[in-house]
Chain A
Amino acid sequence: MVKKNNRISLIVQEGTLKNMFPDGVTKRFREESLTWTCSVTPSPLSSVYTLKLEYIRNKGVKVYVLDPKPLLLATGKKHLPHVYSTPEQRLCLYYPNRIEWNIRMLFTRTIIPWACEWLCHYELWVCTGIWHGGGIHHETEAEKQANKEKEKTNEASSSKK
């Protein structure tokens, strides 16, 4: 039977990251936190970007574009599309409802491919000024708060043994 809380150990997350990206650098502190930094080329003709993944237990996962910084913007735009913060270059890769992503999933099968895909669509956005990658708009501040609470509760409950 499948266990309800089969949270993936950070050791496994780290192993699969190293396996998929031998050149990436990982740093893990027990089961508490994991970071991964790696250069990627999101499409054959694309430029090279440095991504950083940061996971802290109970605080979720964050993905940043470290380099280049700042990222070039599309003509006439002041902010990057689908980011939590343009200055931080922190990417919004999935809808935070725990279905698209939760800690029972491998980074290498979810967050990382999505970040590479984000970079690909980012380059196309610079070309056309239009985001072609699809997605969902941010909800209102109130909804945001509610979701945040939910996410926290979920993170806490899924990490309970």
Chain B
Amino acid sequence: MLTKEQKQQFSDILEELGKTLDISETQYEAAVKSYEAVGNWLAKEDSTLAPFSPEILPQGSFMLGTMVKPINDKDDLDIDLVCQLKGKNPDWTQEDLKHKVGDRLKAHGTYKEMLDEEGRRCWTLVYSDDANYHMDILPSIVDKGYRMILEKAFSDTELKDIEKLGIRITDNQTDNYDWETNHLEWLKSNPFGYGRWFFQQATLDFKKAFSLNESIAPVPKYKKEKLPLQRVVQILKRHRDMLFNGNEHKPISIIITTLASKAYNKESDIIEALINVVSTMENYIEERWSDEHGKRIKWISNPVNDEENFADKWQEYPQREKNFYHWLSELKKDLNNILGQSGKGLPFINESMQKPFGKDAVTKAFSNYGDNLRKQREGGSLNVAAKTGMIGTVGTAVKNHNFYGKEEQ
């Protein structure tokens, strides 16, 4: 069993690891600037979309604060965005909406060059050079007054009327793609309802919580401080990336995020949260009868739409189910191994974390941890405990001094 102090130290190290995995404020601001520019272009007076006040909002991990840098610096960050139109021309089908957005993007010299092949639901803009990200833009329709409903949902302390946050999207594989003009018959999606649910799960004290509105504002504020659940999700995603780098059948982020959020028990420190999540997340995978498949299938329900199964692809690609369970079992082994190094010394902890999370990220995390200790001592907030000589938060302050001697040999 870990002592309270050991848990604290593990959490401090994992917090540093999380910070290392997170995208930087500069990257964040650059991405916001880029998608705002896209939004402005779509909304400009000469745009056919202008009457419907299109707006670009982040969804997915960018909104949830669970982004992780790719393992390879050269790989792209994925930024998921919603392009929201308040209403539409009554004659427009899904196909019309999709192409009005696509055409408007193509009317811009630069975006035309950046536009990737048309996706099933999205348009993708590939930013190159030093930007290293691409943006998936999901065209959608909301009703007038949506913004107010959204803001209310994110400022209420209770989770209610989540279904009102649903938006209508286009999907070129639906039967009514090219003829249905009533958008209430289109596919429904609820990324903001999901976000609202996620923050309900993640927030330790909802009444005291920093304004959630900031998370969904057109310009969400960059937050260095993360909630324990956000850090846990980042750590899990990194572990997944290390195990399945580049494998298209790796466990998808929405499954990891959903199971972790369902399992999370509002633990206030990261290591406790991680231990609990890793050991119980699979309990939230159900089995349900599927008429389509004529058998019981694995079911990971969307918390804001019980009918949606995030694991629906596991039927078509059984490898994905296998990979998920393989990942979870590796994760359990790795976490147990790391915890088992307690009392052997930080070099053993460091060593045990390198394969699961990457040498560079782990080394950086320990470096930052060490720098923090030095800063704490310089600031007079580092203590030493009686009996054990343990450096940390307990005991009397360590007087400032200078280690002498050669630094490197």
Write the residues of chain B forming the contact surface with A, with a CB cutoff of 8 angstroms. Answer: 3, 5-6, 8-10, 341-347, 349-350, 363, 366-367, 369-371, 373-374, 377-378, 382, 384, 386-392, 396, 398-399, 401-409
With contact pairs A113-B384, A123-B347 given, residues A132 and B371 touching in the complex (Cβ less than 8 Å): yes
Whether a CB of chain B sits under 8 angstroms from the CB of A4 is no
With contact pairs A77-B409, A114-B401, A127-B350 given, residues A132 and B363 touching in the complex (Cβ less than 8 Å): no
Residues of A within 8 A of B409 (CB): 77-79, 81, 86
Option from A51, A95, A132 in Cβ contact (under 8 Å) with B402: A95
Stretch binding the partner chain, chosen from A6-14, A15-23, A152-160? A15-23
Option from A44, A94, A131 in Cβ contact (under 8 Å) with B401: A94
Contact B345 A123 (CB under 8 A): yes
Contact B406 A138 (CB under 8 A): yes
Convert A115-135 into 0s and 1s, putting 1 for each residue whose CB lies closer than 8 angstroms to a CB of B.
111111101111110111111
Contact A92 B390 (CB under 8 A): no
Whether a CB of chain B sits under 8 angstroms from the CB of A83 is yes
Could you give 23 example pairs across A and B, Cβ below 8 Å?
A22-B387, A41-B388, A43-B9, A44-B9, A44-B392, A77-B409, A94-B403, A95-B402, A95-B404, A113-B398, A114-B398, A115-B389, A117-B373, A117-B398, A120-B391, A121-B370, A124-B367, A127-B346, A127-B350, A128-B366, A132-B370, A133-B370, A134-B378
Whether a CB of chain B sits under 8 angstroms from the CB of A61 is no
With contact pairs A44-B8, A45-B9, A45-B345 given, residues A82 and B387 touching in the complex (Cβ less than 8 Å): no
Option from A23, A42, A45, A83 in Cβ contact (under 8 Å) with B341: A45
Residues of A within 8 A of B388 (CB): 40-41
Contact A93 B399 (CB under 8 A): no
With contact pairs A134-B402, A136-B402 given, residues A43 and B370 touching in the complex (Cβ less than 8 Å): no
Contact A21 B387 (CB under 8 A): yes
The 5 closest A-B pairs by CB, nearest first: A132-B370, A135-B403, A40-B389, A92-B405, A47-B345
Contact A124 B408 (CB under 8 A): no
Contact A81 B407 (CB under 8 A): yes
* Distance in angstroms between the alpha carbons of A63 and B374 in the assembled complex: 20
Taking the closest CB of chain A, its distance from the CB of B341, in whole angstroms, is 7
With contact pairs A117-B398, A132-B371 given, residues A127 and B347 touching in the complex (Cβ less than 8 Å): yes
Contact A93 B366 (CB under 8 A): no
Residues of A within 8 A of B341 (CB): 45
Residues of B within 8 A of A118 (CB): 403
